[in-house]
Amino acid sequence: MIEVEFQILIRKNGKLFLRSSTVKLLREIERRGSLRIAAQELAYSYQHTWDIVNEINRIASQPVVIKQRGGIRGGGAKLSAYGHRLLDEFNSIERTVQTFSKKMNAEINF
Amino acid sequence: MIEVEFQILIRKNGKLFLRSSTVKLLREIERRGSLRIAAQELAYSYQHTWDIVNEINRIASQPVVIKQRGGIRGGGAKLSAYGHRLLDEFNSIERTVQTFSKKMNAEINF
């Protein structure tokens, strides 16, 4: 069985900004309110998640993820309003691509 | 400037079968009639192109690239009829995705 799949890449000024794997992390941060727990859920190292988050914040030139220090559990993290908007927009693109992909897979003739 | 880009992946029975980089190689083989010259054009090692071609032929379960031994230049290669069909189909998908991508980029709101 032959299938077409589409990977979504979002570039900002030519630089890779968001892709499925980074968006997966943003979703997990939103859900868990913690970078450490998000990292555990995705089986990423804590350092790796920090690197991804710092890179996203740097390219965005405004915070996407806001780190919250202290508190009872410590090390919390949440999405900024801009981060939420990015996630909503990516989710919307993903839904459109899924519809497009279904249509495409019905039409291909390999 | 934020842009959405789509990468096309073709899977056969779940396995990665074709993507832009492998299709680029198939196009070059078609154009040059030689694996060695195609490899040079793409700055791939000769061994790497062999590995890609063998993997494509294996997953396709029929020849996509036909190697021609001997002859004046030696080591020629060409696409089979099935290889040509794959390429035509991929080109057609790529054109549709380009149109979709333009529309998408006009609509995004990051």
User: Would the CB atoms of B4 and A9 count as touching at under 8 Å?
Assistant: yes
The percent of residues in chain B predicted with pLDDT above 70, rounded, is 95
Q: pLDDT tens for residues A19-60?
A: 999 999 999 999 999 999 999 999 999 999 999 999 999 999
CB < 8 Å to B87, chain A: none
DSSP secondary structure, B26-89, as one string? HHHHHHHSBHHHHHHHHT--HHHHHHHHHHHHHHHTS-SEEEE--TTT--EEEE-HHHHHHHHH
Q: pLDDT tens for residues B38-81?
A: 999 999 999 999 999 999 999 998 999 998 876 555 568 999 99
C-alpha distances (whole Å) from A9 to each of A24, A46, A50 are 13, 24, 20
Cβ proximity of B100 and B87 under 8 Å: no
User: CB-CB: which of A1, A6, A96 is closest to B7?
Assistant: A6
Tally C-beta pairs within 8 A across A and B.
67
- Report the pLDDT value the prediction gives residue A19, as an integer from 0 to 100: 95
Q: Residue A101: which pLDDT band, with cuts at 50, 70 and 90? A: very high
Residue of A nearest to B92 (CA): A108
Q: Residue B104: which pLDDT band, with cuts at 50, 70 and 90? A: very high
- Cβ-based neighbours of B9, under 8 Å, separated by 6 or more: A4, A5, A6, A7, B16, B18, B19
User: Would the CB atoms of A9 and B8 count as touching at under 8 Å?
Assistant: no
Task: Return d(Cα B108, Cα B3) in angstroms, integer.
Answer: 8
